[in-house]
Amino acid sequence: MTQASLLRQITDYANRADPYPLYKELRRTPVLRDEDGPYLVSTYWEIQSLLHDPRTSSDARNLATTGGYGATPLEETSLPPSFIRLDPPEHDRLRRMAMRSFGPPHTPRRIHDMRDALHAIVTDLIDGLGNTDRIDLVEQFSYPFPVTVICRLLGVPREDEAHFRTWADIIAASLDPVPGEDPTERDRTTQQARNELGMYLAGLVEERRRKPGEDMLSELVTGKGPDGTMTTMEVLSTSVLLLIAGHETTVNLITNGMLTLMRHPEVLQRLRNEPGLAVPLVEELLRYEPPVQLIPQRTTIADIEVSGVTIPKGASLWLVLASGNRDPERFTDPDRFDPDRKDIQHLGFGSGIHACFGAPLARLEAQIALTELARRLDNPRLLEDPPPYRQSAVLRGPRHLHFACDGIRP
Amino acid sequence: MTGDGYVEWLKREGRIVIVGASLAGLRAAETLREEGFAGSLTMIGDEPYEPYDRPPLSKQVLLGKASAEHTALPRRRAIDARWRLGVAATGLDMAARRVRLADGDEVEYDRLLIATGVRARPWPRKEEAELDGVFVLRTRDDAVELHRRLAGGPRRVFVIGAGFTGSEIASACREQGLPVTVAERAAAPLVGPLGGVIGEVAARMQREHGVDLRCGVMVTRLEGDSTGRVRAAHLSDDAKVEADVVVVSLGATRNTEWLAGSDLGAGPRGIACDAGCRAFDFRGIVTDDIYVAGDVARSPHPLFGYQFLSLEHWGNAVTQAEVAAHNMISVSVDRRPHMWVPAFWSSQFGVNIKSVGVPSMGEELLVAQGSLAEGRFTAVYGYQNRVIGAVAFDQSRWLQFYQHLIETTAPFPPPFPTVDRRPEGRHPVPADFPDPSVPTHGPTVTLSGYSPADRRLTFTPGR
C-alpha cells in the first residue's frame, strides 16, 4: 500500500463502516504528507499538542493552497464565517458572547435545567417507535431528538424543524472534503444553503428583537455584555453554526452508541441495571466511536516541527481525532470498548480554544437517550451489521440503524 | 535483611506516620494504600478537621456560595488510617524514629512523611494582631470567621498585602459590594509572583472594580478603640484609613519549628529534600526513612537549574505527595523523581489567572497573544534567552503549549508568529520584578536554593 493512498482510502465510502484498520496504518507515520496536499496527524500526543498550538489557525484565509473562501469571491449577502472558522481575538469575542446565554459563568444552569425536558422528549419518541419488528433508530429517534432539543434551545418553532434537514445535510456535507475535487461548485451550494437558512433565521431574529423570549436566539439578539451585542449577521452565522453542530453530531453519538451497545449486549444489560454507568460509558463512546472523526480545517501560520517532520507555513492540517483516540501509546488496549476505563482523556470533543462548545449538552443528551433506550427496549438486536453509513468521513455515523426488539417496556 | 526484603516487610506490616492532614497528607495516604501498603498508617493533624480544600476559602466561602463545612476533600479511596486530629506534632527523634505530640504522646514509625505545609504569616505586632477584627486567612476556621464578619456588613475592609490571597479577598469584598482598601508595599499587586508589567494589569483590574488600591506604602500601625476593636490602619505616607475589618495577607510561614533540634535539614524556608522527596539532614545527607511533600518541601528541579523550589501550589502538593508515597515503599531502582512543572491558578475580579513555570525567575516578558490593555493575554517570561514561565489572564487554553516550551527549554523570545499576536507583542520588555534581596510576601514559588546574600557555588562539569 502506498502512503498516499491512505487519505483516499479514508475518504473512500467503502471503508466507512470500519476505518480503524486504516487509522492504525496511518499511525505508523504520525505526521504524513499526503500527495493531495494535507498533512495528516494521527497520533494522540501530536494531535493534542497541535490543538493547543498558537501557530495553527482555523481561518481559511491563512491557507496557502486553493480552497477556502479567500479564493472564492462571495456575494455580499453571504454570511460571515462563524467562530469555528475564525482565530482569536474575533473567535474569542464571538464564542464568549454565545457562551453568555449557554453556559457558565453567566448561565451555569441552562443545560442542567433541561434535564426534565430532554427526558420528556426521549419518552415521547420511544413511546412512538411503533412496530418493533423493524425500527430505524436514526429516523425514529437519533435524528429527531437532538433536532428538537437544539430548536427548542435556540427558539425555533417546532413546525419549522422539518425545513432544516435539507439545509443541514448540505452544510454538513461541506465539512467532508473529497481529495482532488474542485471545491468551487460545492462551496457555491453550501453558501446557498447557509444563506437560505440565514434568511429564515433573519425572520426569527426580527421577531425576537420585537418580542424577546427565554430562548438563546432572543438572548443573542438582546444580550448586552462587556463585549457589546452581536450584529445581526453575527447572530445569524452563530445560530447557523449551533443548529448544524447540534443536528449533525449528537445524532451520530447516539446512533454509534446504540450500535456499540447492541454489539456488546453485556454492557447494554449493565446499563439497564445501573443507570449511573451512562456517564463513563458516554465518555468511552466519545473515545471509541467519536462522531467527529477528524478536523480537516486547520492551517499553519509558521513552520511547525512535529515528530521530526517540519510542517510548512500555510499547509493544510488534518487532525485525525478518531485515530488519536485509538493510539496504543496513549490508551491501553485501545480497540476494546471498556466503559470502566479509568484514564479517559479522549479527543472526542477536540481540545484547546475550539473545544466543543456544545459538549455539556451532547453529553447529557447521549446519557439520557442511551439510558432510556437500554431500560425500555426489550432484547434489541441489530437487523444488519454493519449498517449503511452516511457519506461523510468527518461526521461519521450510520444513515439507518435497523433493529428489532421483543417489545417496549413502559 | 536485604533492602528488598525490608521494603516487602514494610509494605506488609510496617508503620507509616504522616504529619500534616491536609491535601498532601491525604493524597499520600491514598497513594500508599493504592500501591499496596498494608501496614499501620497514622495521620497527625493540628486542626480538628479531616482534610479539606483551601482554594475555595478565599473565594466561594468568603462569598457565602459554599460553606466551609463543605470543603472536605473528596476521597479517592478508603485509607484505613488512625487519625490523630487536633493535636500538633511537637518534636522528632530521628534516632529513635518517634514523633512527639502536643498531648505528650509519642508515635513510632518505620517511614515518616512530613507534610505540615505553611501557615499565614501574622501581623508582626502581637498586640495589634490580637485586636478584634484583625484576621488572617489560611484555615477553615479563619474563613468561617471572616465570612461571618463580612456578612455583617463592615463599613470598610482593609487588606494588607496584594498577593494572590489578598487580591482574592479584595475581589470577594467588592463582589459583595463592600468598600475595600488594599495596601501593598510594592508598586503593584502580584509583583512578587508575576512582576511589575503584569502587576500594572492587576492594579487596573482592582481599581476598575472599585478597590481603593494604595501601592508603594507600608502599614505602620493598626489602631484599636477602647474596647479592643480595630478601627484604623496607619500608612507610611501618613495616611490613615478607617476600617473595621483588617485582613493580613503577608504570605506564609513554613511549619518547621517543631523540627528544631531534630537534626533534620529544616528551617524557615522549608525542609530540603532530594528529587525523590527524601529529606536531608542538617549535614546535607539524605535520609532514607523521612520524606517530605507539599508546601513545606523544597526540592531541586532540573528545569530550573536545580534550584531548590518551594511551591505553594495545589497541584504540586498532589503530585509530590504521590511521588513521596510511591518512593516510601519502593526499592531504590523503582523510585521516581518529582519533576512537576510549577503551575497555579487564581480567580479574582471575574478573571481567571493561570501560570506555568517559574515566572519569578523571568528577566524579560513578551505578550505572545492577546493584549495587556484588554486584560486578556498570554505572556511569556524569558530567562537567559530561554522560556522559563508563562501567565494567562482569561486565556488559559493556550498554556499547555507554553508549558511545553518551558519543558523543552525553548528559546526566548519565541521566534515564531502566533495567532492573536498584537503590536505590543513584537518585542520583549523587562518583566520588572522587584529586587530579590527585598523579600516580598506571597510569592507562590520561592527559590530557596540560595539567597542573594549567600556566597554562590558554581559547578562546572567537565566535557
CA of A319, closest CA in chain B: separation in Å?
A: 17
User: Chain B closest CA to A354's CA: distance in Å?
Assistant: 9
* Percent of chain A predicted with pLDDT > 90: 74
- Which residue of chain B comes nearest to A54, CA vs CA? B418
Q: With cut-offs at 50, 70 and 90, classify the pLDDT of residue B3.
A: low
Residue B162 has pLDDT above 80, yes or no: yes
Cross-chain CB nearest to B416 (options A92, A302, A352): A302
The Cα B281–Cα A52 span in angstroms is 43
pLDDT in tens, B62-71: 999 999 889 9
CB contact under 8 A, A301 and B417: yes
- Find the helix or strand (DSSP H, E) in which A132 lies: none
> Contact, A145 vs A139, CB < 8 A?
no
- Give the confidence band of B305 by pLDDT, cuts at 50, 70, 90: confident
Smallest CA–CA distance, residue A390 to chain B, in Å, is: 33
Please give the DSSP secondary-structure letter assigned to residue A112.
Answer: G
* Residue A337 and residue A260 in contact, taking contact as beta carbons nearer than 8 Å: yes
C-beta of residue B168 within 8 angstroms of C-beta of residue B346:
yes
Nearest to B419 among A49, A54, A105 (CB): A54
Contact A352 B404 (CB under 8 A): no
Cβ <8 Å between A355 and B397: yes
Q: Would you say residue B452 has pLDDT above 70?
A: no
Q: What is the pLDDT of residues A258-300, one digit of tens each?
A: 999 999 999 999 999 999 999 999 999 999 999 999 999 899 9
A vs B, Cβ pairs < 8 A, gives 49
CB A57 to CB B418 under 8 A? no
B113, pLDDT greater than 80: yes
- The residue of chain A nearest to residue B419, with distances taken between CA atoms, is A54
Choose the closest CB to B418 out of A49, A55, A105. A55
3-state secondary structure B380-432: EEEECCEEEEEEEECCHHHHHHHHHHHHCCCECCCCCCCCCCCHHHCCCEECC
> In this predicted structure, what is the pLDDT of residue A224?
83
Read out DSSP for A332-375?
SSTTS--TT-S----STT--GGGS-TTHHHHHHHHHHHHHHHHH
> How close, in Å, is residue B397 to chain A by CA atoms?
5
Spatial distance between the Cα atoms of B448 and B270, rounded to a whole number of angstroms: 9
Q: Which residues of B touch A (CB under 8 A)?
A: 350, 368-371, 374, 376, 378, 395, 397-398, 400-401, 404, 416-420
Answer whether B419 sits within 8 Å of A57, measured CB to CB.
yes
The whole-number average pLDDT for the span A89-94 is 95
User: Which pLDDT belongs to residue B456?
Assistant: 41
Which of residues 64 through 93 in chain A touch B, CB cutoff 8 A? 87-89, 92
DSSP-derived letter for residue A13 is: G
Q: In chain B, which residues have their Cβ closer than 8 Å to the Cβ of A353?
A: 397-398
The DSSP H or E segment spanning A66 is none
Q: Chain A window 295-324: which residues touch B at a Cβ cutoff of 8 Å?
A: 301-303
Burial category of B121 from C-beta neighbours within 10 Å (exposed 0-12, middle 13-18, buried 19 and up)? middle
- Which of A211, A351, A335 lies closest to A284 in space, CA to CA? A335
What is the per-residue pLDDT for A195? 86
* Average pLDDT over every residue of B52-78: 93
Q: For residues B362-379, give the mean pLDDT.
A: 97
Per-residue pLDDT at A65: 55
State yes or no: pLDDT of B377 exceeds 50: yes
- The partner residue sitting opposite A55, judged by closest CB among B350, B370, B416, is B416
pLDDT band for B186, please (50, 70, 90 cuts): very high
DSSP class of A109? T
Q: What is the 3-state secondary structure (H, E, C) of chain B?
A: CCHHHHHHHHHHHCEEEEECCCHHHHHHHHHHHHCCCCCEEEEEECCCCCCECCHHHHCHHHHCCCCHHHHECCCCCCCCCEEEECCCEEEEECCCCEEEECCCCEEECCEEEECCCEEECCCCCHHHHCCECEECCCCHHHHHHHHHHHHCCCCCEEEECCCHHHHHHHHHHHHCCCCEEEEECCCCCCHHHHHHHHHHHHHHHHHHCCCEEEECCCEEEEEECCCCEEEEEEECCCCEEECCEEEECCCEEECCHHHCCCCECEECCEEEECCCCEEEECCCCEEEEEEECHHHEEEEEHHHCCEEEEECCHHHHHHHHHHHHHHHCCCHHHCCCCCCCCEEEEEECCEEEEEEECHHHCCEEEEEEEECCCCEEEEEEEECCEEEEEEEECCHHHHHHHHHHHHCCCECCCCCCCCCCCHHHCCCEECCCCCCCCCCCCCCEEECCCCCCCCCCCCCCCC
* A53 contact B CB<8A: yes
Q: What is the pLDDT, as a whole number, of residue B463?
A: 46
Nearest CA in chain B to A57: B419
> For residue B256, how many C-alpha atoms fall within 13 Å in the half-sphere facing its CB?
23
The partner residue sitting opposite B420, judged by closest CB among A49, A52, A87, is: A87
Contact A52 B401 (CB under 8 A): yes
Looking at residue B447, its amino acid is L
Which among B350, B398, B420 is the nearest to A52, CB-wise?
B398
Q: Which of A151-165, B110-124, B224-238, B389-403 has the lowest mean pLDDT?
A: A151-165
Residue A64 confidence (pLDDT): 74
Interface membership of A36 toward B (CB under 8 Å):
no
* pLDDT of B436: 67
Interface contact B397-A352, CB threshold 8 A:
yes
| Closest Cβ–Cβ partner in B368, B397, B420 for A89 | B420
Quote the distance between the C-alpha of residue A213 and its chain's center: 27
Percent of residues, chain B, with pLDDT higher than 70 = 93
CA dist A19 and A11 (Å) reads 9
Closest Cα in chain A, distance from residue B400 (Å): 7
Whether A23 contacts A288, CB under 8 Å? no
Instruction: Say whether A108 sits in a helix, a strand or coil.
Output: coil
Higher pLDDT, residue A405 or B457: A405
Domains annotated for chain A, with CATH where assigned, are 3-408 (1.10.630.10)
Q: How high is the pLDDT of residue B346? A: 95
Mean per-residue pLDDT for A339-362? 95
Residue B429: name the closest of B371, B381, B391, B390 by CA: B381
Those residues whose C-beta lies under 8 Å from the C-beta of residue A226, and which sit 6 or more positions away, are: none
Across all residues in chain A, what is the average pLDDT?
Answer: 91
Q: What pLDDT is attached to residue B2?
A: 57
pLDDT at res. B1: 53
ipTM of the complex model: 0.89
Please report the sign of the dihedral spanned by the C-alpha atoms of residue A369, residue A372, residue A376, residue A381: positive
Mutate which: A53, A95, A297, A303, vs B, most B CBs within 10 A = A53
The mean-pLDDT minimum among A196-205, A210-219, A222-231, B432-441 falls in B432-441
Residue A87 has its nearest CB partner, among B350, B401, B419, at B419
